[in-house]
Chains A and B, each alone.
Chain A
Amino acid sequence: MKRLAPGTLPVFAVLAILLVALAFAGPAYEHPQGYIALLKRAAPLMILALGQYFVIVTGGFDLSVGSLVTAEVVIAARLLDGNEDRTWPVLLLLIGFGALVGLVNGLISTVLEVPSFITTLGMLLILEGAVFLWTDGAPRGALTESFRQWGRMGFEDVPWIGQLPYSVLILLALGTAAALFMRTGMGRLVLAVGDNDTSVRLAGGRVRTIRTLAFVVSGISAAVAAILLGGFSGVSAQVGGGLEFEAITAVVLGGVALGGGRGSVVAAMAGALTLKALFSLLNLLGISGALESTVQGVIIVAAVAYAAADTGWRDRVLRSKARSTAQPGPPAPDVVTTS
């Protein structure tokens, strides 16, 4: 992009400061390996933020991704049950399930016109209940090594950085694809849907389809995040807990407007990385566990407040400029030039 999308500058600035601060705070970050490890930890959340970005930028919310991640991991464990040769079919099935959940979310929100906050809240409850109903209350079975490698392994002995995790490669691939997509005409149309869906509908655009697809992307990204998280930290009933809020926070931190129509996907992912870098820094500073969430909460609110003040100010300036141009100058309003 030639220029940064409006409102994205703060997140990159904060991220840069945090990354520098990390180097001073902990010996782990004296080498590139430390940052690669951070990226590896952050990859699932960044991928979730990618999916959430598409939903938010078209004007919705996806609260179901956290329980979807849990559901995916639990399903994987039960279906795999330690059987190596089932790994690939199960991986495909997980992606398909994520897409299906997204499709249902999208269709209910667009066709039945249920606000997506409610749709995905209902889906959150349904997924939570259904998965444990199916597994009789606790995760059962086990993941296979070839399943877990995606979240924990990588190409070893890469010069300078040591291990290059698969998850980071997957993240880069998905992030690049999303960033490139947002530069295409279709991507710009996605933004326009969030800005003014009527204008897109009257232009002949398929607003419902686009919105539904945004939920599908979110579902698939939750599936991918689940695969990485399951590999990284194993099976548990809490693996996805609260991730929906973290993902939404990350996206908003990236300067994406709730309500849609504004923000960049790269910034949304940077927002996720910022969150993770923040956690790491807090850990290094010894504010582990206990007050971590407090500091996190304060910083998130402060960041968003800062962004609100910033855009508010910028909007006021731009609006008064626009007003002055909207009022035609006294003598010759019909002067028209080409830029």
Chain B
Amino acid sequence: MTALDASTATAVPRRKLQMPGSTATVYLALGLTLVVGSLLVAERGGTLLDQPGITKILTLCTALGLVAIGQTIAIVAGSLDLSVAHLIGLTSLVTAEVMAGQNGRIVLAVAAALGVAALVGAVNGLVVTKLKVNPFIATLGMALVLQGVLEHRYTGPAGETTRDFQRLGYDRVGPVPVSFLVMLGVAALAWWLLARTRTGHHIYAVGGDAEIARVSGVRVSRTVITAHVLCALAAGATGIFLASRLGAGAPYVGTDASYDLQSIAAVVLGGALLAGGRGGVIGTIGGVMLLACLDTTFDDLGVDPFLKDVVRGSVIIVAVALYARRKPGGRT
């Protein structure tokens, strides 16, 4: 869970606390990966965590991190969003096309992209709550709708982002990309939202048990819709970032990296329950960084790119199997 839980864990000596929580586990795994990765890379005469290495890891983290933050909110609310990958492609195009290479249109472009994202999120939320469509199907349907739009309107990259705007994607402070810091800022905001606001508390409550939330006076539909809008906004931010990296919008930039399933994987890796009610941004960021470190290590080792998928898949399964083991009082 998030720091929310960490604070309670220190306040309350719980009996089952000998085992590290799932958030701690993912950061332990991250540390271990960095140590082992550094050693392996060093053995081959390289350095994993030199300046380009760090920059690479953190850049990888940025895009997946942004979308995974949103996915965390959706999953904690007991939903999920399979339309983020297509939405990322669409918002990258909206950004680049609205900007059309003019610095004066940067704000407009960003606003337009976020506006489109919010709209998509709102529709997802409305379909899930008002039409009572299972979120899996609802957001899959949205993914198809967006795919149709992308296929209909675009054949390849389109639009243009300005040089100045591209600095967002490439500038860095030391080895740390500015965009990564922006992503951390978004993460902090999302953490604050979940842990410290009424909306956040209601998101956990609705994800934990919608009926209990309802009888306690929580407006369930509104909460779920909010979660979907926030999730879509995060995907929109990812699209904007990728437009700045690429200098243009690209219809399949989201789906090629399968950000839909990858973001869900990162969230679950971070210790969230897929069923909702439990999870947090801090764990998710750990999951994202773990995946990025694995990727970079393998690249540095010159491992076949396809092996990365294999390892990634195995890591996800093993991690969740470990979390399942320590589920307190879990029924068999």
Q: Is the CB of A245 within 8 A of B140?
A: yes
Report chain A residues within 8 Å CB of B261: 63, 121, 124-125
Partner of A295, one of B148, B321, B325: B148
Within 8 A of A (CB), among B304-325: 304, 306-314, 316-317, 320-321, 324-325
Residues of chain B lying within 8 A (CB to CB) of residue A180: none
Interface residues of A in 64-88 (CB under 8 A from B): none
**A122 to B309 alpha-carbon distance, docked (Å):** 9
Decide if B321 touches A112 in the complex (CB within 8 Å). Answer: yes
B321 contacts A114, C-beta separation under 8 Å: yes
Is the Cβ of A301 less than 8 Å from the Cβ of B306? no
Are A133 and B145 in contact, with the CB atoms below 8 A? no
Which A-B residue pairs are the 10 nearest by beta carbons?
A294-B148, A129-B309, A297-B144, A125-B313, A301-B141, A126-B313, A290-B152, A305-B131, A122-B317, A297-B145
A258 and B148 in contact, given A121-B264, A129-B309 (Cβ under 8 angstroms): no
A122 touches B306 (CB 8 A): no
B290, chain A: closest CB distance, angstroms: 14
State A63–B258 Cα separation when bound (angstroms). Answer: 13
| 20 sample A-B contacts, Cβ–Cβ < 8 Å, listed by A number | A114-B320, A115-B274, A119-B317, A119-B320, A122-B314, A122-B317, A125-B316, A129-B308, A129-B312, A258-B136, A290-B152, A292-B148, A293-B148, A294-B152, A300-B137, A301-B141, A301-B142, A304-B134, A305-B127, A305-B132
Q: Is the CB of A258 within 8 A of B308?
A: no
**Does A252 make an interface contact (CB < 8 A)?**
yes
Q: Which of B3-23 contact A (CB under 8 A)?
A: none
Q: Do A291 and B148 touch (CB < 8 A)?
A: yes
Contacts of A308 in B (CB 8 A): 131-134
Alpha-carbon separation in the docked complex, A108 to B304 (Å):
26
CA distance A132 to B307 in the complex (A): 9
CB distance from A256 to the nearest CB of B (A): 11
Query: Looking at the complex, which one of B141, B314, B316 makes contact with A300 (CB distance below 8 Å)?
Result: B141
> Contact between B133 and A121 (Cβ–Cβ < 8 Å)?
no
Type the 1/0 row for B18-48, where 1 means its CB is closer than 8 Å to any CB of A: 0000000000000000000000000000000
> Any chain A CB within 8 A of the CB of B281?
no
A309: interface (CB < 8 Å)? yes
Q: Can you list, as one digit per residue, whether each of B293-305 has a CB less than 8 Å from chain A (1) or not (0)?
A: 0000000000010
Q: Within 8 Å of chain A (Cβ to Cβ): is B143?
A: yes
Bound: A291/B325 CA distance, A: 46
Is B66 engaged at the interface, CB distance under 8 Å to the other chain? no
Least Cβ–Cβ distance between B76 and chain A, in angstroms: 15
Q: Is the CB of B144 within 8 A of A293?
A: yes
Contacts of B134 in A (CB 8 A): 252, 258, 304, 308
Whether A301 contacts B127 by the Cβ 8 Å rule is: yes
Assess whether A312 is interfacial by the CB under 8 Å rule.
yes
Q: How far is the CB of A184 from chain B (nearest CB, A)?
A: 27
B152 to A: closest C-beta gap in Å: 4
Nearest Cβ on chain B to A52's Cβ, whole angstroms: 13
In the complex, whether B79 has a CB less than 8 A from a CB of chain A is: no
B93 interface hit (Cβ, 8 Å): no
B144 CB contacts on chain A under 8 angstroms: 293-294, 296-297, 300
In the complex, which residue of chain A has the Cβ closest to the Cβ of B321? A112
> Which residues in B have their C-beta under 8 angstroms from that of A245?
82, 140
Q: Quick one: given A245-B140, A301-B137, A305-B131, are A132 and B151 in contact (CB under 8 Å)? A: no
- Contact residue range for chain B? 35 or more
Interface residues of A in 90-144 (CB under 8 A from B): 108, 112-115, 117-119, 121-133, 137
Complexed CA–CA distance, A293 and B146 (Å): 8
Please name 10 further chain A to chain B contacts, defined as beta carbons within 8 Å, in addition to the given A124-B261, A305-B131, sorted by A numbering: A112-B321, A121-B261, A121-B265, A126-B309, A258-B136, A258-B137, A291-B152, A293-B151, A296-B144, A305-B132
Residue of B whose beta carbon sits closest to that of A245: B140
- Let me know if B140 and A300 touch, CB within 8 A: yes
CB-CB under 8 A from B149, the residues of chain A are 291, 294
Contacts of B317 in A (CB 8 A): 108, 112, 114, 118-119, 122-123
A89 at interface (Cβ–Cβ under 8 A)? no
Nearest chain A CB to B121's CB is how many angstroms away? 15
The CA-CA distance from A126 to B309 in the complex, in Å, is: 6
Q: How far is the CA of A113 from the CA of B331 in the complex (A)?
A: 10
- Whether A117 contacts B274 in the complex (CB less than 8 A), given A124-B261, A294-B149, A294-B152, comes out as yes
B131 touches A301 (CB 8 A): yes
Minimum CB distance partner of B324 in chain A? A113
Does A4 lie at the interface of the complex (its beta carbon under 8 Å from any beta carbon of B)? no
In the complex, B138 has a CB within 8 A of chain A: yes
> Is the beta-carbon distance between B310 and A126 smaller than 8 angstroms?
yes
Which residues of B have CB within 8 Å of A123?
Answer: 313, 317
Enumerate chain B residues within 8 angstroms of A304, measured Cβ to Cβ.
133-134, 137-138, 141
Q: How far is the CA of A309 from the CA of B307 in the complex (A)?
A: 45
Q: Which residues of A contact B62 (CB under 8 A)?
A: none
- Residues 309 to 334 of chain A near chain B (Cβ within 8 Å): 309, 312
CA distance A248 to B311 in the complex (A): 26
Q: Indicate whether B330 reaches chain A with its CB closer than 8 angstroms.
A: yes
Given the interface pairs A112-B321, A113-B330, the reply to whether A289 lies near B314 with Cβ below 8 Å is no
CA distance A189 to B92 in the complex (A): 49
* Residue from B148, B304, B312, B314 whose CB has the most chain A CB atoms within 10 Å: B148
A203 beta carbon closer than 8 Å to chain B:
no
Task: Kindly state whether residue A249 has any CB partner on chain B within 8 Å.
Answer: yes
List, in ascending order, chain A residues with CB within 8 A of B146's CB: 294, 297
In the assembly, what is the distance between CA of A198 and CA of B306, in Å?
A: 40
Question: Would you call B137 and A252 a contact (CB within 8 A)?
Answer: yes
B147 part of interface (Cβ distance < 8 Å): yes
| Structural contact, A133 and B307, CB atoms closer than 8 A | yes
Is B137's CB under 8 angstroms from A129's CB? no
B237 at the A/B interface (Cβ < 8 Å)?
Answer: no
B162 CB, min distance to chain A CBs, angstroms: 30
Chain B residue, CB-CB nearest to A308? B132
Contact A293 B145 (CB under 8 A): yes
Confirm or deny: B268 has a beta carbon within 8 angstroms of a beta carbon on chain A. yes
CB distance from B329 to the nearest CB of A (A): 13
